[in-house]
Amino acid sequence: MTSKNKTGFTRRDLLTMIGKTAGGAAMYQAMSSLGFATESHYSGPPKLEGARKGATVLVLGAGLAGMVAALELRNAGYKVRILEFSQRAGGRCWSVRGGDTVRELGGAVQRCEFAPGEYFNPGPWRIPYHHHGVLDYCHRLGVALEPFIQVNYNAYVHSSKAYGGKPQRYRHVQADFHGHVAELLSKAAGQGNLDASVSKEDKEKLLEGLRRWGALDSEHRYREGTITSDRRGYEVDPGGGLMPLAKPSKPLDPSELIQSGLWRYIASGQDYEFQSSIFQPVGGMDMIAKAFTKQVGDLIRYQAKVTKIEQNERGVTVTFADLARGGAIEQAKADWCVCTIPLSVLSQIDIQVGNEMQAAINAVPYGSSIKVGLQFKRRFWEQDDSIYGGITYTDLPISRISYPSTRYGAKGKAVVLGAYIFEGPNSFEFGAMAPQERVRRAVEFGNQIHPQYAGEFDSGVSVAWYRVPGQHGCYGMWTDSTRQQHYKNLCQVDNRIVLAGEHTSYIPAWQEGAILSSLDAIQRLHARALA
């Protein structure tokens, strides 16, 4: 994102320079007057320089926060080592592929049987356009991105309590909801009911806007015909030559639509976090982890289970068990420590920090999300239903089905996200099942939406985050009240230790939170080290 052009500096270069010489406030002002995306805290990786000769840093956890810290601190001149609990770097930036083994707390073991090239992301799966930190590291480290289809007008929205359980097309529900809203408001305006709120001049323009936006006819009605079918699609599409003539489709009954509650699903693509453009790495989310590992893999010690973190005036001592050698106890020492261990785990580790930080570490419960990846024998959603990527929403426990945003039209097996159980009682019910039982249930529920499920199912994998060793949960669940009481205390540099990860950010559960938190933490740690 900061490539030079022939004429000299990019605006990012300029901003970085301003930031370095005149400080943050001046930089924000400059960003604004340059018309730059003022909203982001990210303006390129930090320019850390001048680490004291021989200064050392121990990074705990080789997820994105840990690897960003290691990369940038090494660039700044520190000697860096990373201790990682598992046999794999990336943490929740993870893709499961054929041949992988997935182990759970409780002992269950799954062996993934996906076809070559197929994968499933149990953790993060999307990168919004305004997650500048993630995008910039992807660009710098050569991670190829492709669009993630968030909104698919031909996918389904489904309620087991509406339309006799028959899934409706997203485009029908959205067009008809918009249309009915536009018609109702036009009617209210026409009857003079908005006169207190809307001026005469604005009313005229508003009516014009509603007509266009809502696909209304010249009398401001949302009615079966080509105007509405050019929005919601046709019963029979226009064709070529002497094929049968097009036939408009019939809008859903307004009352039934409103009662169905299906409108709840049509706003989600409009959320800031899900708006287009939104991306995924080509080949799986862990391509980001792999790209970081290429940079800092030489610093990582795997299968190191941290059991104690101590510090004094001279440095930090971390005690860990070497799981590769039967749990043999070792110690690692450094001048400074960046600890990215999830609070769900860190709260169970003896760490020598102040009372306030310890209270903060203990205060944040973790999410219990569950995902299920299902492989089918063929892409029936494309071949039979013309659904290419995107998400079907349902009130069934599986919550949604997300179709692959890649290799469109490919023959052979393919993997969908068959359940994304985001918190709530269902996540505990599913979490209590054996992994293959979760898969079986996901197929059973999904079959209510795609009757092809039963015949086309091939194999599946499920991940219940609170059962993942080294994670014990999906992400830090802050509330306004815990933020108020604990957030700052959690983020302070405590003598020689600073925490980082999505849990020390205002963007929980997103990789951007982990990266921004890490960049912020190491800048403050570096300042402390130079002080």
Q: Which of residues 3-42 bind a copy of itself (CB under 8 A)?
A: 3, 5-7, 10-12, 24, 34-41
Residue 298 CA to residue 118 CA, distance in Å, equals 28
Tell me the closest approach of the beta carbon of residue 402 to a copy of itself, in angstroms: 13
Which one, 140 or 308, has the nearer CB to a copy of itself? 140
Which one, 141 or 321, has the nearer CB to a copy of itself? 141
Which one, 207 or 464, has the nearer CB to a copy of itself? 207
Parallel, antiparallel or unpaired: strands 497-499 and 328-334:
unpaired
Which one, 333 or 377, has the nearer CB to a copy of itself? 377
The correct pick among 55, 70, 93, 175 for binding a copy of itself (CB under 8 A) is 175
177 interacts with a copy of itself by CB under 8 A: yes
| Residues that contact a copy of itself, how many (by CB under 8 A) | 133
Which one, 259 or 348, has the nearer CB to a copy of itself? 259
Residue 424 CA to residue 431 CA, distance in Å, equals 11
328 interacts with a copy of itself by CB under 8 A: no
181 interacts with a copy of itself by CB under 8 A: yes
Residue 74 CA to residue 211 CA, distance in Å, equals 59
Tell me the closest approach of the beta carbon of residue 59 to a copy of itself, in angstroms: 15
Tell me the closest approach of the beta carbon of residue 36 to a copy of itself, in angstroms: 6
Residue 305 CA to residue 319 CA, distance in Å, equals 8
481 interacts with a copy of itself by CB under 8 A: no
- Quick note: the x/- pattern for a copy of itself over 184-223, rule CB under 8 A, is xx-xx--x-xx--xxx-xx--xx--xx-xx-x--------
Q: Going edge to edge, which strands form the sheet with 497-499?
A: 300-301, 79-83, 56-60, 336-339, 497-499
Q: Restricting to residues 40-79, which ones interact with a copy of itself according to CB under 8 A?
A: 40-41
How far CA 237 is from CA of 141, 168, 321, 526, in Å, comes to 45, 18, 65, 63
Q: Minimal CA–CA distance to 458: which of 427, 428, 414?
A: 414
The correct pick among 419, 439, 516, 529 for binding a copy of itself (CB under 8 A) is 516
Provide the angle, in degrees to the nearest 10, between the axes of the packed helices 11-22 and 24-33: 150
- Quick note: the x/- pattern for a copy of itself over 437-476, rule CB under 8 A, is --------------x---xx--------------------
Tell me the closest approach of the beta carbon of residue 437 to a copy of itself, in angstroms: 24
Residue 340 CA to residue 337 CA, distance in Å, equals 10
- Sign, Cα dihedral of 394, 400, 406, 410: negative
Q: How far is CA 276 from the centre of its chain?
A: 13
Tell me the closest approach of the beta carbon of residue 364 to a copy of itself, in angstroms: 15
Q: Minimal CA–CA distance to 224: which of 186, 252, 263?
A: 252
Tell me the closest approach of the beta carbon of residue 247 to a copy of itself, in angstroms: 9
Which one, 37 or 324, has the nearer CB to a copy of itself? 37
Residue 338 CA to residue 60 CA, distance in Å, equals 6
Q: Restricting to residues 225-284, which ones interact with a copy of itself according to CB under 8 A?
A: 229-246, 249, 254-255, 258-259, 261, 263-264, 266-267, 270-273, 275-277, 279
Residue 156 CA to residue 144 CA, distance in Å, equals 29
Which one, 108 or 246, has the nearer CB to a copy of itself? 246
What are the CB-based long-range contacts (under 8 Å, 24+) for 191-197? none
Tell me the closest approach of the beta carbon of residue 323 to a copy of itself, in angstroms: 30
Q: Going edge to edge, which strands form the sheet with 457-464?
A: 168-169, 156-158, 390-394, 400-403, 414-421, 370-376, 457-464
Which one, 205 or 294, has the nearer CB to a copy of itself? 205
Other beta carbons within 10 Å of 75: 16
Q: Restricting to residues 339-398, which ones interact with a copy of itself according to CB under 8 A?
A: 377-378, 380, 382-390
Tell me the closest approach of the beta carbon of residue 449 to a copy of itself, in angstroms: 10
Residue 129 CA to residue 466 CA, distance in Å, equals 29
Which one, 289 or 414, has the nearer CB to a copy of itself? 414
Tell me the closest approach of the beta carbon of residue 356 to a copy of itself, in angstroms: 14
Tell me the closest approach of the beta carbon of residue 371 to a copy of itself, in angstroms: 22
Instruction: Give strand ranges (E) for 253-385.
Output: 278-281, 300-301, 304-311, 316-322, 328-334, 336-339, 350-351, 370-376
Q: Restricting to residues 123-152, which ones interact with a copy of itself according to CB under 8 A?
A: 129-130, 132, 135, 138-139, 145-147, 149, 151-152
Residue 122 CA to residue 474 CA, distance in Å, equals 10
User: Is residue 145 a contact partner of residue 279, using CB atoms and an 8 Å limit?
Assistant: yes
Which one, 249 or 368, has the nearer CB to a copy of itself? 249
Which one, 303 or 492, has the nearer CB to a copy of itself? 492
